[in-house]
Amino acid sequence: MGVEVKVEGLTKSFGRANIWSDVTLTLPPGEVSVLLGPSGTGKSVFLKSLIGLLKPERGSIVIHDTDLVKCSEARLYELRKLFGVLFQDGALFGSMNLFDNIAFPLREHTKKSEAEIRDIVLDKMNLVGLTGSEGKLPGEISGGMRKRAGLARAMVLEPEIILFDEPDSGLDPVRTAYLNQLIIDLNAQTDATFLIVTHDINSAQTVPDNIGMLYRKHLAMFGPREVLLTSDDPVVSQFLNGRRQGPIGMSEEKDTAQAEREMAELDGELEGLPPLKPQLVASAGLPERKAVARRQARVDQMMHTLPQAAQDAIRASRDEAAREAERTATRTRRLPDTGATDQFSTQDAGWAVPQSDPGRHRPRT
């Protein structure tokens, strides 16, 4: 299983410009978390701080009882091996072909033979649907393929923590949907800890176990998806519903009078909570995600503290999920015994996820 990442009181500035202050959250081990926020709120800076590329002025980032902010460079170098990172543009070496790009961490951090490296690289390339593209240069492929190559490289060391910096930027909605399913399937197979920075609202509503939001240089909220998606906090509600009306403006923050006028325009349209979108599940043939049960147990413990409308919406979403699971099971039982199912597969359109051996991609222990 992935590891817990505990962040307390983290503060980062560039000169006199404060990016965010006193950020405190815990990434639960083995779960998928998403970090949201208006543009320019420092989400990518937060990711770079987690892996020690940027040094915060205050606070702590604790992994395996070690504070990455205060540890030695030698210890930080070792802890970075726990991470895999998918940067916004893939961050591939332009002069290397895809095979050598993906093999780079193995050659840099391990003593594996070239035969072993080849097996691992080809396995990861197959995992993200890039089989046959080993000899291509980054400049010869599409942006979506570069992202997949970056994801393959992020996984070659079998990391326990994978960070995704806007993995859906530049992708069309269909490819974004395939990428989201791939992320869920990878988590089902590895049970690693994932943190995703994204602006895509549909991804934020359907992929993560936990959601956090940066706003006005602070962490507005962080918690299980059910809590954030039913929140009546004006900032969280506005962003997750993609509305113009609310505290967030083009320059991040509106004046109070303007925000009140816009909210008045809705005139009761926001009464009641919309149904929660169902969370994506792992593709057929893969194990159930263990993270789901862990998250739901935490939600059950805090249910009594939530507004009644939120409780009702959460229970309704669980009932619908149970009904859908039963309908899916019924459809699958009716299929001919050919090994086929009617389940969505990321094998379609070039997104390949091997489903025959779920244990192949577990993190090292």
pLDDT tens-digit profile of 31-79?
999 999 888 889 999 999 999 999 999 999 999 999 999 999 999 988 9
Residue 213 reports pLDDT greater than 50: yes
CA distance 17 to 11: 11
Name the pLDDT band for 265 (thresholds 50, 70, 90). low
pLDDT of residue 355: 47
Q: What is the mean pLDDT of residues 286-294?
A: 92
Q: Give the helix ranges, DSSP H, for the chain.
A: 43-50, 73-79, 98-109, 114-127, 143-155, 173-190, 201-206, 225-229, 234-241, 256-266, 290-302, 308-334
User: Residue 222 phi/psi, 5° resolution?
Assistant: -155, 130
CA distance 193 to 363: 10
pLDDT of residue 291: 94
Q: What is the mean pLDDT of residues 233-260?
A: 72
Q: Report the b/e string of 142-162 with b at 16+ CB within 10 A.
A: eebbbbbbbbbbbbbbbbbbb
Give me the chain's average pLDDT, please. Answer: 84
pLDDT in tens, 311-348: 999 999 888 888 887 887 777 666 665 544 443 344 44
Listed residue (83, 90, 92) closest to 165, CA to CA: 90
